Chain A
Amino acid sequence: AQSVTQLGSHVSVSEGALVLLRCNYSSSVPPYLFWYVQYPNQGLQLLLKYTSAATLVKGINGFEAEFKKSETSFHLTKPSAHMSDAAEYFCAVSGGTSYGKLTFGQGTILTVHP
């Protein structure tokens, strides 16, 4: 069985500040990990994915995430927040016996203050 825990349902940062959204996973097999972003009244858009290649993954809009097996973490970061980054972010894991099925975290709402 797999699970995802996103620490912090709400994160607030100032424009230009570091963004750090935390994600921890549990998986009985090597996981594939994804970060998605959801803007209001829209579907989910892929930010980046980890599929057992490089542990530091770069995505769109300046986001990146590092896979740390020892910590079972896949935290999402961006060096400098922009107002347009305000959205809800979801971490998800795929793998194991649930072929193709994504297990999502509860989501983190990011607010960016001017």
Chain B
Amino acid sequence: GAGVSQSPSNKVTEKGKDVELRCDPISGHTALYWYRQRLGQGLEFLIYFQGNSAPDKSGLPSDRFSAERTGESVSTLTIQRTQQEDSAVYLCASSLGDRTQPQHFGDGTRLSIL
């Protein structure tokens, strides 16, 4: 498709389980970002990938969170040993990499931890 694609759109899991969230960026976009949106709050930056450079992981809230990106394609955000406070919408965005360029967002994955 033409836009950023995220899967699954919804995920319900039990506390303590691991989850993987997937993001397929727009073709040709070198930069990829993950954000977290908790209920009633703004978006929190999690991690940023730019080409083959080392990712900016400064927003990851704990070592239970990790992300990978293969080249300039798909990215996976993994949350290990999920906690209830991890419940949120996880949004992925991609851009052409220049910071003047807008980020294009996917529809997000709504994660609910029981």
Contacts and interface: CB of A to CB of B under 8 A. Distances in A.
Interface of A: 32, 34, 36, 41-46, 49, 51, 90, 92, 94-95, 98-107
A101 B91 contact: no
B42 A100 contact: no
A53 to B, nearest CB: 10
22 contacts: A41-B107, A42-B108, A43-B105, A43-B108, A44-B43, A44-B91, A44-B93, A46-B102, A46-B103, A90-B43, A92-B43, A98-B45, A99-B50, A99-B56, A100-B48, A100-B50, A102-B35, A102-B43, A104-B43, A106-B42, A107-B41, A107-B42
A34 B102 contact: yes
Contacts of A101: 33, 45, 48, 56, 59
Given A41-B107, A100-B56, 15 more contacts: A34-B102, A36-B105, A41-B110, A42-B107, A46-B102, A46-B104, A98-B56, A99-B50, A100-B95, A100-B97, A101-B45, A102-B103, A103-B45, A104-B43, A106-B41
Contacts of A95: 99
Interface residues of B, number: 26
Contacts of B108: 42-43
A102 to B, nearest CB: 6
Nearest to B49: A100
Interface in B44-83: 45, 48, 50, 56, 59
A32 B99 contact: yes
Contact of A43 (B4, B41, B42, B59): B4
Contacts of A90: 42-43
A43 B104 CA distance: 9
Nearest to B44: A104
Interface string B85-114: 000000101010101101111111010000
Contacts of A49: 100, 102
Contacts of B93: 43-44
The listed residue with most A CB atoms (<10 A of its CB), out of B91, B99, B102, is B102
Contacts of B41: 106-107
